[in-house]
């Protein structure tokens, strides 16, 4: 027993719902009916006019049966025209309609992305001529508007795209277009183009706008490249100067801080030395007032010791009455060092004398 037969323990899923037509069964019944009619007409020996009328009737019935259905693909939308006027929209699948010529179905591709490209010359805000190669990708969102709002919607989109690009490029400067702000120009163009299409009501949606190439015309390309290179060189020099300043300024500031610190140290040392000398002089003055002769002699001896302490000469103030120890080893070493220094200076002077001057021939 079949699954959908009564009493089979299973319920018919199509119960209470409109069942899809069985096209093959209808065509088979139509063929069988036509065969029976033709056999009956041929065997009865009726008049020729009756047979022609029967054939015409069969053709009409066949035409009605064949044109009462329309199949719409998954990526399409069917627009139904009844006597040439818009009536409704068909979704994908097999749909029932009035036979032709009462109703006509026009399929519209609504899922695939369409594309147009163009290359135009434009004038920028700073009066530079550029060659713009742009591409626009779009889709159909409203099949009715796409068919009836404009005679040639694709050509309308191309003209609207060129107008939008000209408007955006015309209020932008060359440096802005060629710099990193190009994405902003593309976004503004897409927005303006979509607003224009919405005002036209052509049922199109812009999915992407690309500026594939923005270049100066070939006639001025060489001059433009020179100006662009000059700008790049200017920026390079600016960067080098900034790098040099970033390197030199910290060194100069460090050197200035070092000199300032040395000056402060020198100042503090001399102030301390002067303060110490002042205090020492005050103490000596007090001692001098107490014992002038002793203080005077002590100052003399200290002064002579400071003056003659590093001198190689030996002064005998006892008129030969005292035995003086002479540091002969130290005197000899100092004499040898002085002789060696004198000999080195003489050799250097002789070498310089034999060297050719700037104007002499080698």
- Residue 211's nearest CA partner among 140, 127, 122 is 122
Answer whether residue 150 is part of any domain: yes
DSSP letters, 25-73, are HHHHHHHHHHHHHHHHHHHHT--HHHHHHHHHHHHHHHHHHHTSEEEE-
For residues 185 and 95, membership in a common domain is answered with: no
User: What is the structure's pLDDT at 256?
Assistant: 92
Burial-class residue 298 by CB neighbours within 10 Å (0-12, 13-18, 19+). middle
Compute how many other C-beta atoms are within 10 angstroms of the C-beta atom of residue 203: 22
Query: How far apart are the C-alpha atoms of 205 and 137, rounded to whole Å?
Result: 9
Q: Which of 88, 121, 127 is nearest to 104 (CA)?
A: 88
- Is residue 246 situated within a structural domain? no
pLDDT in tens, 147-176: 777 788 888 889 999 999 888 888 888 777
CA-to-CA dists, residue 311 to 15, 214, 304, 306, 331, angstroms: 136, 89, 11, 10, 10
Q: Could you tell me if 93 and 182 lie in one domain?
A: no
Does residue 13 fall inside a structural domain? no
How far apart, in whole angstroms, are the C-alpha atoms of residue 159 and residue 202?
Answer: 13
Please give the structure tokens belonging to residue 217. 């015309």
Q: Are residues 140 and 200 in the same domain?
A: yes
Question: How many structural domains are present in the chain?
Answer: 2
Answer yes or no: pTM beyond 0.75. Answer: no
Q: Among 207, 227, 220, which residue's Cα sits nearest to residue 116?
A: 207
Angle between helices 153-170 and 182-200 (to 10 degrees): 140
299-333: per-residue pLDDT in tens? 888 888 777 766 666 666 667 666 666 666 676 77
Cβ atoms of 223 and 197 within 8 Å: the answer is no
Q: Which residues contact 107 (CB under 8 A, 6 or more apart)?
A: 72, 73, 76, 77, 78, 79
Q: Do 118 and 193 belong to one domain? A: yes
* Domain boundary, last residue among 215, 249, 276: 215
Cα 103 to Cα 105: distance, rounded to the nearest angstrom = 7
Same-domain check for residues 162 and 103: no
What pLDDT does 169 receive?
87
Helix, strand, coil percent values for the chain (each to nearest 5): 55, 15, 25
User: For the chain, which residues score pLDDT lower than 70?
Assistant: 1-24, 26-27, 30-31, 33-54, 58, 61-62, 64-70, 73-74, 84, 87, 93-98, 179-182, 220-221, 309-318, 320-329, 331, 352-362
Last residue of a domain, one of 82, 108, 134: 108
Can you read off the two tokens belonging to residue 240?
Answer: 């080098």
Do 61 and 134 lie in one domain? The reply is no
Predicted local distance difference test score (pLDDT) of residue 49: 56
Structural domain contains residue 201: yes
Assess if residue 245 is contained within a domain.
no
- Residue 241: inside a domain: no
177: in domain: yes
Would you say 153 and 197 are in contact if contact means Cβ atoms under 8 Å apart? Answer: no
Answer yes or no: is 221 within a domain: no
Decide which of 81, 108, 135 is a domain's last residue.
108
Same domain, 163 and 200: yes
> Do residue 91 and residue 158 come from a single domain?
no
Same domain, residue pair 49 and 63? yes
Relative to beta strand 69-72, strand 103-109 is unpaired
Compute CA 29 distance to the chain's CA centroid, rounded to the nearest angstrom.
69
Sign, CA torsion 61/62/64/65: positive
Same domain, 88 and 126: no
DSSP structure string for 237-248: HHHHHHHHHHHH
Exposure of 228 by Cβ count < 10 A (0-12 exposed, 13-18 middle, 19+ buried)?
A: middle
pLDDT value at residue 64: 67
> What is the extent of the structural domain holding 55?
23-108
Cα dihedral: 45, 50, 56, 61 (round 10) = -90
131 and 206 belong to one structural domain: yes
CATH code of residue 121: 3.30.479.30
Q: Do 77 and 151 reside in the same domain of the chain?
A: no
């Amino acid at each position: 027993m079949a699954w959908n037969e009564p009493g089979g323990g299973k319920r018919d899923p199509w119960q209470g719902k409109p069942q899809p037509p069985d096209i093959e069964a209808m065509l088979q019944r139509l063929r069988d009916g036509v065969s029976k009619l033709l056999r009956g007409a041929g065997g009865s020996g009726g008049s020729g006019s009756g047979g022609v009328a029967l054939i015409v009737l069969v053709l009409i019935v066949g035409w009605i049966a064949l044109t009462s259905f329309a199949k719409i693909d998954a990526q399409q939308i069917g627009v139904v025209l009844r006597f040439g006027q818009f009536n409704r929209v068909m979704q994908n699948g097999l749909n029932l309609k009035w036979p032709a010529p009462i109703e006509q179905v026009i399929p519209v591709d609504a899922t695939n992305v369409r594309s147009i490209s163009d290359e135009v010359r434009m004038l920028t805000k700073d009066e530079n001529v550029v060659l713009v190669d742009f591409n626009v990708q779009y889709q159909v969102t409203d099949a009715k508007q796409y068919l009836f709002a404009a005679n040639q919607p694709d050509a309308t989109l191309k003209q609207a795209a060129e107008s939008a690009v000209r408007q955006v490029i015309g209020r932008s400067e060359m440096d802005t277009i060629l710099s990193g702000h190009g994405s902003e120009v593309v976004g503004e163009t897409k927005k303006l183009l979509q607003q224009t299409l919405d005002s036209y009501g052509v049922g199109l949606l812009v999915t992407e706008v690309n500026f594939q190439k923005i270049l100066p015309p070939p006639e001025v390309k060489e001059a433009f490249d020179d100006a662009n290179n000059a700008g790049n060189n200017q920026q390079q020099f600016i960067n080098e100067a900034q790098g040099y300043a970033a390197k030199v300024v910290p060194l100069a500031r460090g050197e200035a801080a070092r000199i300032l610190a040395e000056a402060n140290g020198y100042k503090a040392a001399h102030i301390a030395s002067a303060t110490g000398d002042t205090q020492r002089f005050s103490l000596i003055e007090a001692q001098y007032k107490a014992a002038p002769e002793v203080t005077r002699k002590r100052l003399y001896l200290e002064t002579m010791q400071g003056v003659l302490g590093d001198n190689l000469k030996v002064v005998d103030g006892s008129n030969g009455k005292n035995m003086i120890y002479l540091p002969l080893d130290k005197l000899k070493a100092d004499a040898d060092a002085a002789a060696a220094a004198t000999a080195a200076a003489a050799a250097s002077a002789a070498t310089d004398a034999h060297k050719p001057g700037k104007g002499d021939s080698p």
